[in-house]
C-alpha cells in the first residue's frame, strides 16, 4: 500500500470557551489600554511615552492569552489511496469453449489483462488495487498471480457468497470500483420461490461501489446437450408405476432426433426418442414399474453429440428405494371348501395383505336360462385379472381350480397361463398351486406353461389321488427352510411337525423337478412331495399337493391348542414367495447413500440364524466393486461379533457408484448374502447449465451504478470513469500549551516591573 505521512499544525484556545466571555475580555483589555494611553499622553519625551505604552500592551496581551489558554496542536496525517477490487471467476465453467470459436472463456479474461496492461498499471499507480478469485471459495491473490495464470478448478460458482465477502471485507473502506470477470453461471443454493436476481441486486446496492462487469460476448455460447435436472421420488412401492421428469437443456443444436434411455444398472428398462426443434429446454417423462424390493441404481443418459463441449452432463445416476406398501394377493378357487375358507380367512384378516379373492360358483359351461344381467353372480373377470391387473399383484394362488371351462375359443385361458408364467419368470412374482380333485393334472395343467414353473412334473391325463389320512413328513431341507421353520430351534421344530394333525390325502404327481426343494412329503409309497418350492426365473413357485392344510387350524384348535403354527406356515410361505427381505439371514446397511471423495463409508453387516437370532463367529467375505466398470476397490474378510455384527470402513477417492457385496459362510455352508449400493460424488454443478448469464451481470452493474461489457474489450480506459477523492487518516497528534510555563510569568513580571520603574522615574503614579 502506497502512503505518505504529513504534519499539520493548529492553534486552539481552551480557556473561556464562551464567545461572550472572550469578547468581554477583549473589550476590557482595549479599555485598559485606552485609559493607560490617556494617563501617559503628556509624558515627555515621546520615546519614554511609547516605551511605557509598549510595556503596558505586552502585559495586557499576556494576561489575555493566559485567560484564553492557547495550545498548539500537531497532527500526523496518513494520506491513503482509494480502493479498486478486481474479482475473477475461477470456476470450471470458465474453461468451456465457444461452439464456433474454439476459444475458452478464460482466454478472453487473460486477453483483457494483456491488451489493457497500461490501464491496469495506471490503476495501480492511482489506486490501491486488490485481486480476488471466487468460485466455491473466495481467495485474495496478487497481480503476479494474475499474470502467471489463474487455475480454473472451482466446482461451484457462488455469487452471493462473493458479494457477502466483499461487503464484510471492505466495510468502512473507500472502494471506488469493482471489476468483475465471470460468465455469471451462478450455482449457489437459493430458497424455493426466491428471485436470484433480486438477492444479487440487494447485495450489490449495499456495497456502495460501482460494479463494472465483463462476460464472454459474441458467439461464445457452447454447444451442449445437458441433463439439467431429474425430478423423481427416491422412495416408491413395488409393482407401482414410478416416474421421473427429466429436464434437458439444449445449447447450439436444433432440428435433431435425440434418444434418451433409463437403465437399471446396465439393463435398459425404458427409452424414448424426442424430436428437438428450436427448443432450449425439453421435459421428458420416463416411467417403469419395479417388481422387486431393494435399493437400486438408475441412470438416465443421452448420446454425446458431435462438437459437444461437455460429455459429463449427458448422464445422471441416482438411487431409488423400492418397498412394499401392501402385499397384493390374487386368490382363485375352483369351488368353496374348508381349505379355501380357512386360507381366505387368514389372508383377509391380515392388515398387510390386500386380497382379491374369487371362488367359482358358476362357470361358462353351466346352463342358465337367464341373461347375465339378470343373475346375481358376476362372470369371472378373466381378461381384467390376467392381462390388465396381473402385474400389480405380488402373489397368485390357484386353489383346486380347473381352468378348462374357460379355455373356449372366446376366453383363451391357456393364453392367460402364459401371462402367469411371465409374471413369475420376468416380473419376479410368486405363484402357489394348492391341490384337490380339480387341481394339478386333474385340472388339466400338464403340458401347459404353468407346469414349466411348478416344482413338480405332472402326470399325463390325470394325477392319482391318494386319500390316506397321514401326517406330513418333514424333509432334511424342510428342517432348515424358512417356510417350514415354525419353532425356535431344529429339535422343537421337528417335534412340532410330528404333532401336527394328519391330512386327508394328496395329489400324486409324476416326480420332483431337479431344481426343486421338497419341504415335506406324504408318507406313502414313493414319498410323493407334499410341499415343494422352486425358483423360476426372477420369481418363486410353490406346490401344495393337498387341500387339507385347514386341519392344522381346525383340529388343533378343537383339541384345545392354537392355530399359530398354521398362521406361521402361511406367513412364512408368503414372505418367501415374494422375497421379503426379513427372511434374508444376512443384511448389510450403509450409513448414507452419497459420500464425498475420501469420506469414510461405514457399512454394518448383520448375520442371523434360522431362528432370526444373531449368529456369532460367522466368517464373512466382502467385496466392493464399481457398478459400471466392475473394478474391485476392496476385498476383505471378517467375523461377526457376539451381536452377530461386523463393521466395515471404506475410503475411496474416485467418483462413481459402488456395490458392497457380502457372503456369509460357516463350515463350507453358505448362510446367505446381501448387497448395498452407495455413490461417491464431488458436488459439481458447473456443467449442468453451461449458459452465460449476462442478465445477472448486467443487473449487478446497473443496480450499483457501473456498466456491463462484452469481452473482448480494448481501450477500457476511455470507457470507464472512476472517482479518486483525497483520503487521509489521523495516525497521531500532540498538544503544546503556550501559557502555563515560567517564561510567560517572567516576561509578565519583567514588563510590569519595567513599566513601574519608568513611571516612577517620570513622576507618574
575 and 587 belong to one structural domain? no
Distances (CA, A) of 745 to 11, 59, 752, 757: 21, 10, 11, 18
Confidence of residue 377 (pLDDT cuts 50, 70, 90): very low
Per-residue model confidence (pLDDT) at position 89: 95
Per-residue model confidence (pLDDT) at position 604: 94
Highest mean pLDDT (candidates 63-72, 383-392, 425-434, 628-637): 425-434
446 and 512 belong to one structural domain? yes
- Report how many domains make up the chain: 5
Does the structure show a pLDDT above 70 at 366? no
Per-residue model confidence (pLDDT) at position 434: 96
Which CATH number belongs to the domain containing residue 248 in this structure?
2.60.40.10
Per-residue pLDDT of 406-419, as tens digits, reads 776 555 677 889 99
334 grid coordinates = 375352483
Per-residue model confidence (pLDDT) at position 80: 75
Q: With pLDDT > 90 as the criterion, what percentage of the chain qualifies?
A: 34
Residue 606 in any domain: the answer is yes
Per-residue model confidence (pLDDT) at position 708: 94
519 and 628 belong to one structural domain? no
Residue 627 in any domain: the answer is yes
Report how far Cα 473 is from the mean position of its chain's Cα atoms.
55
Neighbouring C-alpha atoms within 13 Å toward the C-beta of 44? 1
Least reliable range by pLDDT among 46-60, 376-390, 548-562, 634-648: 376-390
Per-residue pLDDT of 93-123, as tens digits, reads 898 888 777 788 999 999 999 999 999 999 9
Does the structure show a pLDDT above 70 at 738? no
Residue 660 in any domain: the answer is yes
178 closest CA partner among 100, 110, 86, 101? 86
Per-residue model confidence (pLDDT) at position 730: 57
Does the structure show a pLDDT above 70 at 717? yes
631 and 482 belong to one structural domain? no
Highest mean pLDDT (candidates 60-69, 271-280, 400-409): 271-280
Which CATH number belongs to the domain containing residue 553 in this structure?
3.40.50.880
192 and 239 belong to one structural domain? no
Per-residue pLDDT of 6-31, as tens digits, reads 566 677 777 777 788 878 878 887 88
**Burial label, 266 (beta-carbon count in 10 A; 0-12, 13-18, 19+):** exposed
Per-residue model confidence (pLDDT) at position 573: 94
Per-residue model confidence (pLDDT) at position 318: 85
Does the structure show a pLDDT above 50 at 56? yes
Greater model confidence, 310 or 363: 310
Q: Which contiguous run of DSSP H or E holds residue 66? A: helix 46-68
Per-residue pLDDT of 632-691, as tens digits, reads 999 999 999 999 999 999 999 888 889 999 999 887 777 888 888 888 887 667 777 788
Does the structure show a pLDDT above 70 at 431? yes
Greater model confidence, 67 or 525: 525
Per-residue model confidence (pLDDT) at position 528: 92
Contacts of 188 (CB under 8 A, 6+ apart): 156, 157, 158, 159, 160, 161, 196
121 and 213 belong to one structural domain? yes
Least reliable range by pLDDT among 45-59, 152-166, 605-619: 45-59
Which of 645, 680, 715 is a domain's end point?
680
Highest mean pLDDT (candidates 33-42, 434-443, 601-610): 434-443
Confidence of residue 35 (pLDDT cuts 50, 70, 90): confident
312 and 331 belong to one structural domain? no
Q: Which contiguous run of DSSP H or E holds residue 258? A: strand 256-264
Per-residue model confidence (pLDDT) at position 355: 92
Per-residue model confidence (pLDDT) at position 374: 43
Residue 685 in any domain: the answer is no
Does the structure show a pLDDT above 80 at 64? no
List the Cα angle 161/165/169 in 5-degree steps. Answer: 180
270 closest CA partner among 244, 247, 295? 244
Residue 603 in any domain: the answer is yes
Which CATH number belongs to the domain containing residue 192 in this structure?
3.40.50.410
Q: Which residue has the cell 487473460?
A: 110
Confidence of residue 387 (pLDDT cuts 50, 70, 90): confident
Per-residue model confidence (pLDDT) at position 555: 83
* Domain extent at residue 709: 83-219+691-724
Per-residue model confidence (pLDDT) at position 386: 85
What is the average pLDDT across 426-441?
Answer: 93
Per-residue model confidence (pLDDT) at position 1: 46
DSSP labels, 320-356: EEEE-SSEEEEEEESS--HHHHHHHHHHHH-TTEEEE
Confidence of residue 723 (pLDDT cuts 50, 70, 90): confident
Per-residue model confidence (pLDDT) at position 364: 52
Angstrom distance (rounded) from CA 182 to CA 106: 9
Which CATH number belongs to the domain containing residue 646 in this structure?
2.60.40.1930
90 and 175 belong to one structural domain? yes
Q: What is the overall mean pLDDT for the chain? A: 84
Least reliable range by pLDDT among 182-186, 194-198, 245-249, 589-593: 194-198
How big is the chain, counted in residues? Answer: 765
439 and 533 belong to one structural domain? yes
Does the structure show a pLDDT above 80 at 463? no
Greater model confidence, 189 or 535: 535
What is the average pLDDT across 265-294?
Answer: 86
Residue 372 in any domain: the answer is no
438 and 382 belong to one structural domain? yes
Residue 68 in any domain: the answer is yes
Per-residue model confidence (pLDDT) at position 77: 59
29 and 90 belong to one structural domain? no
Per-residue pLDDT of 565-581, as tens digits, reads 899 999 999 999 998 87
Residue 686 in any domain: the answer is no
Per-residue pLDDT of 162-209, as tens digits, reads 998 998 998 888 899 999 999 988 887 776 666 778 888 888 877 888
What is the average pLDDT across 389-410?
Answer: 85
Greater model confidence, 582 or 657: 657
665 and 697 belong to one structural domain? no
Please count the other Cβ atoms lying within 10 Å of the Cβ belonging to residue 295: 16
Confidence of residue 210 (pLDDT cuts 50, 70, 90): very high
Angstrom distance (rounded) from CA 348 to CA 326: 12
Amino acid at each position: 500500500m502506497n502512503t505518505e505521512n504529513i504534519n499539520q499544525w493548529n492553534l486552539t484556545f481552551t480557556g473561556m470557551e464562551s464567545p461572550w466571555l472572550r469578547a468581554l475580555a477583549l473589550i476590557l483589555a482595549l479599555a485598559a489600554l485606552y485609559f493607560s494611553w490617556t494617563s501617559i499622553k503628556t509624558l515627555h519625551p515621546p520615546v519614554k511615552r511609547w516605551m511605557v505604552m509598549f510595556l503596558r500592551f505586552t502585559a495586557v496581551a499576556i494576561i489575555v492569552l493566559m485567560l484564553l489558554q492557547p495550545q498548539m496542536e500537531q497532527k500526523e496525517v496518513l494520506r491513503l489511496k482509494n480502493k479498486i477490487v478486481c474479482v475473477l471467476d475461477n470456476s470450471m465453467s470458465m474453461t468451456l469453449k465457444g461452439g464456433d470459436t474454439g476459444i475458452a472463456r478464460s482466454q478472453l479474461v487473460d486477453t483483457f489483462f494483456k491488451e489493457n496492461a497500461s490501464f491496469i498499471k495506471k490503476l495501480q499507480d492511482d489506486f490501491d488495487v486488490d485481486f480476488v478469485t471466487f468460485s466455491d471459495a473466495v481467495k485474495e491473490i496478487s497481480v503476479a498471480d494474475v499474470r502467471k495464470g489463474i487455475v480454473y478448478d472451482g466446482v461451484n460458482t457462488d455469487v452471493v457468497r462473493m458479494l457477502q465477502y466483499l461487503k464484510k471485507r471492505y466495510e468502512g473502506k473507500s472502494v471506488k470500483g469493482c471489476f468483475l470477470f465471470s460468465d455469471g453461471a451462478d450455482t449457489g443454493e437459493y430458497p424455493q420461490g426466491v428471485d436470484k436476481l433480486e438477492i444479487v441486486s440487494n447485495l450489490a446496492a449495499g456495497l456502495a461501489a460501482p460494479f463494472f462487469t465483463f462476460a464472454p460476448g459474441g458467439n461464445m455460447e457452447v454447444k451442449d446437450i445437458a441433463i439439467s435436472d431429474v425430478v423423481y421420488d427416491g422412495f416408491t412401492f413395488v409393482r407401482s408405476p414410478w416416474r421421473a421428469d427429466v429436464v434437458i437443456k439444449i445449447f447450439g443444436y436444433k432440428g435433431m432426433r435425440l434418444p434418451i434411455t433409463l437403465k437399471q444398472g446396465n439393463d435398459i428398462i425404458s427409452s424414448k426418442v424426442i424430436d428437438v426443434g428450436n427448443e432450449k429446454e425439453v421435459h421428458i417423462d420416463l416411467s417403469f414399474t419395479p417388481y422387486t424390493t431393494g435399493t437400486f441404481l438408475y441412470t438416465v443418459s443421452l448420446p454425446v453429440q458431435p462438437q459437444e463441449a461437455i460429455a459429463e452432463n449427458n448422464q445422471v445416476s441416482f438411487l431409488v428405494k423400492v418397498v412394499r406398501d401392501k402385499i397384493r394377493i390374487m386368490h382363485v378357487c375352483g369351488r368353496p371348501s374348508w381349505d379355501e375358507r380357512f386360507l381366505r380367512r387368514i389372508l383377509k384378516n391380515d392388515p398387510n395383505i390386500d386380497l382379491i379373492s374369487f371362488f367359482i360358483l358358476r362357470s361358462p359351461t353351466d346352463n342358465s336360462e337367464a341373461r347375465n344381467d339378470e343373475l346375481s353372480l358376476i362372470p369371472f373377470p378373466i381378461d381384467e385379472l390376467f392381462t390388465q391387473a396381473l402385474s400389480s399383484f405380488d402373489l397368485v394362488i390357484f386353489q383346486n381350480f380347473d381352468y378348462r371351462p374357460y379355455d373356449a375359443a372366446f376366453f383363451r385361458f391357456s393364453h392367460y397361463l402364459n401371462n402367469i408364467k411371465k409374471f413369475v419368470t420376468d416380473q419376479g412374482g410368486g405363484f402357489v398351486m394348492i391341490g384337490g380333485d380339480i387341481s394339478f393334472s386333474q385340472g388339466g395343467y400338464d403340458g401347459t406353461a404353468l407346469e414349466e414353473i411348478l416344482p413338480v412334473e405332472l402326470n399325463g391325463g390325470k394325477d392319482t389321488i391318494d386319500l390316506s389320512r397321514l401326517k406330513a413328513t418333514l424333509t432334511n431341507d424342510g428342517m432348515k427352510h424358512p417356510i417350514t421353520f415354525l419353532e425356535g430351534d431344529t429339535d422343537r421344530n421337528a417335534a412340532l411337525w410330528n404333532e401336527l394333525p394328519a391330512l386327508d390325502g394328496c395329489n400324486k404327481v409324476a416326480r420332483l423337478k431337479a431344481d426343486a426343494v421338497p419341504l415335506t412329503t406324504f408318507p406313502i409309497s414313493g414319498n410323493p412331495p407334499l410341499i415343494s418350492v422352486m425358483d423360476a426365473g426372477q420369481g418363486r413357485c410353490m406346490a401344495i399337493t393337498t387341500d387339507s392344510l385347514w386341519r392344522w387350524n381346525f383340529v388343533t384348535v378343537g383339541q384345545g391348542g392354537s392355530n399359530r403354527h398354521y398362521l406361521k406356515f402361511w406367513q412364512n410361505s408368503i414372505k418367501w414367495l415374494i422375497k421379503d427381505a426379513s427372511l434374508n439371514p444376512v443384511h448389510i446397511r450403509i450409513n448414507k447413500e452419497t459420500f464425498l471423495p475420501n469420506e469414510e463409508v461405514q457399512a454394518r453387516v448383520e448375520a442371523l440364524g434360522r431362528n432370526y437370532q444373531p449368529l456369532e463367529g460367522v466368517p464373512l467375505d466382502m467385496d466392493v466393486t464399481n457398478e459400471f466398470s466392475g473394478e474391485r476397490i476392496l476385498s476383505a474378510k471378517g467375523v461377526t461379533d457376539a451381536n452377530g455384527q461386523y463393521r466395515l470402513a471404506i475410503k475411496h477417492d474416485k467418483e462413481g457408484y459402488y456395490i458392497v457385496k457380502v457372503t456369509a459362510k460357516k463350515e463350507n455352508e453358505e448362510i446367505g448374502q446381501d448387497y448395498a449400493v452407495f455413490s461417491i460424488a464431488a458436488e459439481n454443478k458447473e456443467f449442468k447449465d453451461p449458459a452465460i448469464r449476462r442478465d445477472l451481470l448486467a443487473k449487478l452493474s446497473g443496480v450499483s451504478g457501473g456498466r456491463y461489457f462484452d469481452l473482448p474489450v480494448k481501450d477500457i480506459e476511455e470507457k470507464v470513469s472512476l472517482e479518486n477523492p483525497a483520503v487521509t487518516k489521523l495516525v497521531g497528534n500532540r498538544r503544546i500549551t503556550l501559557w502555563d510555563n515560567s517564561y510567560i510569568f517572567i516576561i509578565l513580571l519583567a514588563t510590569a516591573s519595567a513599566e513601574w520603574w519608568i513611571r516612577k522615574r517620570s513622576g507618574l503614579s
